[in-house]
Structure formats: C-alpha cells, structure tokens
Structure 1
Amino acid sequence: MSSNLALLTDFYELTMMQGYCLNHYNPDTVFEMFFRRPPFGGGFTVFAGLQPLLERVAELAFTAEDRSYLEAQGLFRPEFLDYLSDLRFTGDIWAMPEGSVVFPGEPLLRVHAPLIQGQLLESLVLNILNFQTLVATKAARIWLASNEGTVLEFGLRRAQGVNGALAASRAAFIGGAAATSNTLAGRMFGIPVRGTMAHSWVMAFSSELEAFRKYAEVYPDSCTLLIDTYDTVKSGLENAVVVGKSLKAGGHRHFGVRLDSGDLEYLSKQVRQRLDAEGLQEAAIAASNELDEEIIQQLLAQGAPIDTWGVGTHLVTAKGDSALTGVYKLAARKVDGRYQPAIKVSNNPEKISDPGIKQVHRFYNGSGSPIADLLATEEERVEAGRDYRFYHPRYPYKFMDVTGAKRVQTLLEQVMLGGKIVTEFPDLPALQGRARANLRSLDHTYRRILNPHLYKVSLSEKLKDLKFRLIAEYAGKGTGA
C-alpha cells in the first residue's frame, strides 16, 4: 500500500470538505479522539498506533491520480479539486504517550487545525488507533494472564490481510508479546522473531525420531521439538527425550518441546514429569492451539507447567471484541478570534460529548498507583497536593473528593506543530516497557481479567459546569441519536 493515504477516508469526509470549501467556511477547530468503553470487558486499555498515524498525517497529499479519480465520481467541482492539489496538514496534534494505559471518555488525541484538515483526518485516525489499541490491549491481557510470562505472537496466517498482520504484530509487541512469528514485522519494527517447526517437518521424514534428529543437527542450541504429530506421550515425548539427552551430553542448551493440541494441562504435566525424570529439568515447554487470556489463566491456576505461550488467532483478531469503540468529535471552533466549545447532545447520555479544549490529568497516591483521571479545561492549572472534586461525566450530582495526591501527571503532549512531527519516537522495546510499567502501577483490581474494578475518569468543576450549561442550552433545539 502507498504511504500516501489521502483517499483512505470515508467518502462523506470529502463531501463535507467540498461543502466547507465552496461555502468559504474553514475556521480553526479542535477535534478529539476518545473511546466509549474498554474492550473485552476489561479494566484498562493500552494506547497504540501513534507513530504510524503521525507519519501518515505528515505525508498526506492528493496526487494528480487521486484528483482524477475524484473528478470521475461526478460530484466534485473543479475549484474544490484545485484546492485539494495544494492541501497539506498544517495543524498541531497533542496525544497521550504511546504505550500508556488509558480509559474511556478521555481524549487520546487532540487535533488543532482548520476545519477541512481536521475533518480529513477522522477516518485515518480511527482506522489506525482503534485497531492497534485494540490488539495492544488484548496482548496486555494475555501477558497478565500468563503471570507476566513469555508470550509469542503467532497470528500472521489468521490475521486480516497483510496490513492487518503487520499492524497487529507491532501492537501485540507493545502490549507485551516477547516476539513474533511474522518475519517482515520483525524487520520493519525491530521485533524479535521466533519459530520452530510445523507438523510438515515431522511428516516429511521417514520417522519422527529422524525428523527430530535432523532438526537438532541444524539447530543444536535452539531446538524446540513439536511432539504432537502422532502420539504426544507415547511417541513424540519419548523421541524428544532421546534427542534432548543427546544434545545435553554434547553440551548444548536451550532445548524444549511444544504442544499444539490435546488437553494442555494433562499433557504438560506428563511431559514435565518425564523430562525431569530423564535429567532434562532445564527443558522448556511451549504451548499453542487457540489460546487466549482466559484459557491461559485457567491452565496456570491448575498448575500446568508451561513456560511459553504461542498465541495467534485470538490475539491478532482480538477475540471478544471486534473493534475499539473509538470516535472522533468536534470539541471547539474559533468564532471571532476565540474558541467556542462544541458539544454533541444525544438522547443517549453516554453519547453526549465533553465540550471544549481539554487536558487529562492523572492523580497518583503515595505508592505510585493511579487514583483517577481528571478532565479539565486547557487553561485550568492542576497540581499535586491540592484538594479536588471529581464530578461524574454524566451525572452532575455524583462526585468524589481527591485530597493530597502525591503526583499529578499531565498526559496530553504536543507531537505535531504546524504539520511537522516535533516528538522523538521511542523504539518498540521502550513502548513495551512503558506499557508494562503502566500496567504494574495499576491496582490489581483494575488488572483482573474477569470483573475488574472500573477506573474513574471525571470532570473538573469548571468542565462539568460548561458541559451541563451547554446541554441545557441545546435541550430545546432538538437532539439526535
């Protein structure tokens, strides 16, 4: 796919853009991207996809071929197509640090730009951030379920297309995967790559033992044998013991076996017992086969002695949630030289947006754990050590008081200025490290795989007053769904 993605947009973005252009209406605006609920019924979400998004935004341009295609649709006028020929993104973007743990309702991204430019970005922002954030969150859940063990992403062959596979590998590593089977993703993103053998290797030789020996000859210091091609316990395990003992006698290490079918709890226990009895205590056991966080958590709770988890389909396709509920809404527009807050009012309270230009502040207790996040207007000064009242975003009569927070972190940082990237991108290990540090800082009740505690994202008093004043003003003007 071309790196220039100007046409990777929903068609109505272009029809709106032409309408603004022909009406000579292009005020400065602020758009925000946020999501409405955490995926998988979880208590947290891991933000991913920022770097590829910013790189695409910086390259946006409508080529002659793009404009010819639009002209052929019979809907766009010559003056608008001429306008597109010089259109580039010249605005500013503020964003959460990639790899951060984030929560519903708070802006992950804030776009300051002329209306036409801000409108153009909507589909691209949501396409990239929704998917990568979803997969990074799934990977984090799997990593936590494994007791922070070794998780390998094996999803290439089941991913939704080439680009989906690459994006999923990147996001899964940020979320906690130790390596990927996707060799191209490894080259592109610097992710460690791992892989052993398929059943076809074993079936290609005259016997299972011969197949194992041939593999061990080529890879004596990184030999993991797939032992379930025929009979896991009676054949595969016994032949693996022969090869494993031979490798150990020759001074070679890093030997292991992989289970890819059957009752993984029972089989892993049988395998561990047999390997230990033969003096192969250091041999590792890897498992794969339609794994997800709930299965892994159950296997460990039952004492399955599995060292490495290969997770493919259910990781890269984000089993349990088809998409992040991310949306992109207008928050403010400039009128007579001043920004006026904008709000979407709805008959569904959860769909009413928070108006104005906002900043997100995370409050921490003395042990370094987050207490709650506060949305405040951009001009509000929020500091540690002061007392604050946190208001529920939908019910103004509900609030909690936060006193004596030891630290307050301001989360939205400027990453683009005048259409240019103004931030240094950390490498993926650093992003993974940030995600793991953020997850470990959370109270364990938010990290639970099932029935987690809900983290509070609240409004400052000033933002609460603004929101409900605007709701009252718009109440008589008609609302949409």
Structure 2
Amino acid sequence: MRNLTLLTDLYQLTMLNGYFEKNIHEDVVVFDMFFRKNACNSGYTIVCGIEQFVEYINNIHFSEEDLKYLKSLNLFSDNFLTFLKDFKFTGDIYAVEEGTIMFPNEPILTVKAPLYQAQLIETALLTIVNFQSLIATKASRVCFAAQDDPVFEFGLRRAQGPDAGTYGARAAMIGGCNATANVLAGKLFDIPVVGTQAHSWIQKFDTELDAFKAYADIYPDKCLLLVDTYNVLNSGLPNAIKVFKDLREKGHKPMGIRLDSGDLQYLSKKCSKELNKEGFTDISITASNDLDEYAITALKAEGATINSWGVGTKLITSSDSPSLGGVYKLAASFNDNDEIEPKIKLSEDPEKINNPGYKKVVRIYNEYGKSEADLIMLHDESIDDSKPLTIFHPLYTWKSKTFEKYTIKELHKPLFINGVCKHKSKPVMQIREYVKNELDTLWDEYRRLSNPQTYKVDLSHELWSLKTTMIDSKKFL
C-alpha cells in the first residue's frame, strides 16, 4: 500500500505549520466535501473512490524521507516537523456508501477532527473521489445509452497515466460497465476482463484469412474477429464467415465480430444481414472507435445492429466534461465548551455560499420506493415519519411539497470514529449492483442524457434559518 501523505498541495502544509505556531492546531472542526454541479452534465452523480480514501487514511503518516524533504524546503520549524513524526488521524469521518447517487451541494463526506488533521486530508480526498466519481457517472450514462447491451471499458491506453487507467476502470465498472480491457484492474479489483486481437495481429500474417484461422485455432470457443483491417464487406466479413463455418463444423460456437472504424451504422446492418444469411443469427457485433453516450444513442436511433460496445477514450477521460468540481469547505468549529460554532463562506455568487454547521443528508422515498427529494439537515435533527413532511426550495421558498406516505433514509455512515476504521470493504461487482439498484429509484426524467430534470435538494427549516441568519448578519469568520 502506497504512502500518499505528501499527495497534497503545499499550502495545506504551510497552513498546518501556521495553525501549529498559533497553537490552534488541536481545535476540533467540521469540513464537508460536496460538489456544486453534477458530473458530465448529468442529472446525478455516482459517488466513487471511498474505498481508496479509506486506504489513504489508514496509511497516512510522515516517513523519515518525507520529513527530510519537508525540512529541505526551509518553510517549516523543527518543532513542527517533530510534531509531524507522530501524525495519525484520530477524528470522525462520515460518508455516503460508495455507489450512492448524490446531487449538488449535498455533503458526500463530513470530517470532524482536529484542525491540522482535517486540513491535511483535503487534497487527497478531492483527487481520489472527484476523479472516480466523474468516471463512474460517465460510465453510467454510456450504459444507459446502450440500454441492455454489454459495455466494455477500453480506455487504458488513452488514460492520463496508470492510476487514471486503473482506478478509472474500477469506477467504470461501478458505473455499470460489464468488463474492462485493463488486466491490472482485473487482478486488483476482481473484475471481468475482455480482449481479443488488434489490427497488428491481422497485419502480421500473410493474409487476413490466415490471421483469422490462426486466432480461431488458439481460441476456438472465444473467437471474436476484428474485421475492418482492410475492407469490412469485401474482405473482413467474408473471411470471418469462412472461419466461423469451419468452427461450427468442428462443434464450436463463434463469438462474433468487431468493427473499429467506418460507418458503424451501415456496416453493422450489412454484416448482420450476411451473418444471418449464413445461420449466425445470435452472434455478437461489437463496435468501438471513439464512442460515448451520444454516439451510441445516435447509432441505436439509426437502426444499427450493434449489440455490444467497447468504449475507451471518451469514457476514461470523460472528454466532454473532464472534471468534477468537488470542494472541501469548513462548516463548523467547536469551542472550549464543545459547542458548535457554524462557519460560512460568503460570495457574490450564491452557488458558492456553503451550508454551515454539522450536517447530514436524508433521502425521501415515496410509497413505491422512488426517491423524491433529499433534505440536508443539522446533525442532531430528526424526522417523525409518522407525520406529514413539508419541504421547500432553499432559494424560492414559496415552492414547497408535502409528503404524506413516505419513508426516509439517512445517507451518511461512519467511516472512522476516533480514528478507528469502521468501513467494511465490498467487492466492486457488489458495489456495481448497489449502483444499479440506486439508479432504479430515480425517475427517468433525472436520468435522461440531455436536459435532465433537477432533483430536489432542500434544507431543513432549522438549517435554512441558520444560513439566512448568518448571511443577513454577514457573520463569517
């Protein structure tokens, strides 16, 4: 397990040094991680990366080499560096379960800890959760476009480095993909891997037919052939059919063909017609080549006969929306009497005004199990679900809704209590199933790819009152 303690911005350490010098480093504070806009222009965001964040916290410490390097920067006092020798996280962290569907301004994760500990972990938390949540959400959209067709993650060679390729593959699987081409990810996370041959395999043999025969000899029961190296309809497909017939005569069932270039809609329909004519009616036609949710939607609308999809560059980089702007903001501090002092950041941009206080998130479900709204509440509030519940828009307060028949679920669970890990790891494929169930609770209007409906995220009356009072009094510390 890698020590990522120095995976941080320098200003985190200069602030820690300042807190230490001013003797406020042990003050207990509350930070929230949240995002202001959904990933990928989506109607929701899938939270991913919690497992890696837990690993980071469990392994956080300053090695002798770390401290030696920090000393070389000539920015930190010897007393501060000595203090860091015994660094250990001792606070509380609450977070939603990995794979949970979340929405803007909701705390994904809340940290209650001594100031120096809560401050240090910000950058690593954001880089881990922002990226994986982005890719999980992108994958979910791609799989939604593919409907019930298998989707394979093919992005490793185009990812921004090994970690992005590997953890991106994990996130893509959580988001709904069926397998990945990344063998290391397969090993690390126990997820299915797929792959056949590249164009170089075809080119290496004297003829395309020789290449296909050689592959079929080696993998007679897993024979999927890449048919676009030279000419799909005049060469690739006829040669593939010859090999498939030979396999069928020997008692084997061919898997299918892959198209990686050209007019995928036209070619898939032509290939399907010829394959059906030869009795290969249930064969797979896989497409790749710069696909994303929009390309897949268009191909399906045009009647393409593709029934599995290899999605690489535009998935692993989320090319049209390459970042999730998750942030980490101070929301409260505890005074000497262990009383909460809420904190707020004011801005001329209303979207950048954070919700103050120590909080939690409650999800409201209707009688049919569909999620209707979320309520951000102060941590010590409760809801009597035997009574009607009225919520209102935090800005347009005249917009309200009352629930009569409903159930609620508190979304945050403990990751760490007093520095002790409470998190239980789950296999990726189990998290993937949880995501599927989560998405099934959303109405279709929140899942559509373009112009999704905005999900209701409201504040409890107590939190709304606290926030408006602090804004009105311009009380920010």
- Sort the TM-score into its range (normalised by shorter chain): over 0.9
Amino acid across the alignment from 1:292: D
Question: Partner of 1:347 in structure 2?
Answer: 348
Question: Partner of 1:471 in structure 2?
Answer: 471
Note the C-alpha offset of 1:385. 4.2
In 2, distance between residues paired with 1:67 and 1:255?
Answer: 56
Amino acid across the alignment from 1:3: R
In 1, distance between residues paired with 2:200 and 2:416?
Answer: 49
Question: Partner of 2:366 in structure 1?
Answer: 365
Equivalent position SS for 2:209: helix
In 2, distance between residues paired with 1:463 and 1:405?
Answer: 24
Note the C-alpha offset of 1:423. 2.1
In 1, distance between residues paired with 2:49 and 2:273?
Answer: 43
Contact 2:221 2:252 in 1 (8 A): yes
CA shift digits 1:254-290 (9 cap, x unpaired): 4200000001000000000000000111211000000
Residues 1:200 and 2:200 are matched in the alignment: yes
In 1, distance between residues paired with 2:458 and 2:74?
Answer: 47
Contact 2:32 2:110 in 1 (8 A): yes
Question: Partner of 1:8 in structure 2?
Answer: 7
In 1, distance between residues paired with 2:3 and 2:404?
Answer: 49
Equivalent position SS for 1:430: helix
The number of equivalent residue pairs is 475
In 1, distance between residues paired with 2:453 and 2:447?
Answer: 8
In 1, distance between residues paired with 2:397 and 2:205?
Answer: 72
Mapping 1:19-168, distance limit 5 Å: 19-25=18-24, 26-168=26-168
In 1, distance between residues paired with 2:379 and 2:398?
Answer: 23
38-47 vs 232-241, which moves further: 38-47
Question: Partner of 2:242 in structure 1?
Answer: 242
Question: Partner of 2:357 in structure 1?
Answer: 356
Note the C-alpha offset of 1:400. 1.2
Contact 1:31 1:118 in 2 (8 A): yes
In 2, distance between residues paired with 1:331 and 1:58?
Answer: 24
Question: Partner of 1:321 in structure 2?
Answer: 321
Question: Partner of 2:388 in structure 1?
Answer: 387
Question: Partner of 1:18 in structure 2?
Answer: 17
Amino acid across the alignment from 1:11: L
Question: Partner of 2:285 in structure 1?
Answer: 285
73-82 vs 376-385, which moves further: 376-385
Note the C-alpha offset of 1:354. 0.2
Note the C-alpha offset of 1:305. 1.1
Amino acid across the alignment from 2:99: G
Amino acid across the alignment from 2:172: A
CA shift digits 1:206-242 (9 cap, x unpaired): 1111100110010011110000000001100000111
In 2, distance between residues paired with 1:454 and 1:168?
Answer: 27
Contact 1:360 1:411 in 2 (8 A): yes
Amino acid across the alignment from 1:413: K
Contact 1:389 1:399 in 2 (8 A): no
Amino acid across the alignment from 1:364: Y
In 1, distance between residues paired with 2:402 and 2:100?
Answer: 22
Question: Partner of 2:303 in structure 1?
Answer: 303
Residues 1:446 and 2:446 are matched in the alignment: yes
In 2, distance between residues paired with 1:274 and 1:5?
Answer: 55
CA shift digits 1:179-227 (9 cap, x unpaired): 1101011000111110010000000101111100110010011110000
Equivalent position SS for 1:426: coil
Mapping 1:208-247, distance limit 5 Å: 208-247=208-247
In 2, distance between residues paired with 1:247 and 1:408?
Answer: 56
In 1, distance between residues paired with 2:386 and 2:158?
Answer: 50
Equivalent position SS for 2:121: helix
Amino acid across the alignment from 1:403: F
127-136 vs 65-74, which moves further: 65-74
In 2, distance between residues paired with 1:254 and 1:159?
Answer: 31
Note the C-alpha offset of 1:410. 0.7
Identity of aligned residues (%): 44
Mapping 1:450-461, distance limit 5 Å: 450-461=450-461
In 2, distance between residues paired with 1:106 and 1:5?
Answer: 27
Note the C-alpha offset of 1:399. 3.4
Q: TM-score, normalised by structure 2?
A: 0.98
Amino acid across the alignment from 1:390: I
Equivalent position SS for 2:81: helix
CA shift digits 1:308-327 (9 cap, x unpaired): 10000000001211210100
Amino acid across the alignment from 2:347: S
Per the alignment, do residues 165 and 446 of structure 1 end up closer, same or farther by CA in structure 2, a change over 3 Å counting?
A: same
Which segments of 5 or more consecutive residues in structure 2 lack a partner in the other structure? none
Q: C-alpha root-mean-square deviation of aligned residues, in Å?
A: 1.2
Note the C-alpha offset of 1:382. 1.9
Note the C-alpha offset of 1:388. 2.5
Per the alignment, do residues 426 and 62 of structure 1 end up closer, same or farther by CA in structure 2, a change over 3 Å counting?
A: same
CA shift digits 1:15-60 (9 cap, x unpaired): 1101111111121111110000112221111110000111111110
Per the alignment, do residues 333 and 275 of structure 1 end up closer, same or farther by CA in structure 2, a change over 3 Å counting?
A: same
Note the C-alpha offset of 1:148. 3.2
Contact 1:363 1:405 in 2 (8 A): no
Equivalent position SS for 2:468: helix
Contact 1:385 1:403 in 2 (8 A): no
In 2, distance between residues paired with 1:406 and 1:208?
Answer: 62
In 2, distance between residues paired with 1:126 and 1:464?
Answer: 26
In 2, distance between residues paired with 1:114 and 1:321?
Answer: 35
Equivalent position SS for 2:465: helix
Note the C-alpha offset of 1:386. 2.8
461-470 vs 399-408, which moves further: 399-408
Contact 1:387 1:401 in 2 (8 A): no
Contact 1:361 1:382 in 2 (8 A): no
In 2, distance between residues paired with 1:396 and 1:284?
Answer: 51
Per the alignment, do residues 398 and 10 of structure 1 end up closer, same or farther by CA in structure 2, a change over 3 Å counting?
A: farther
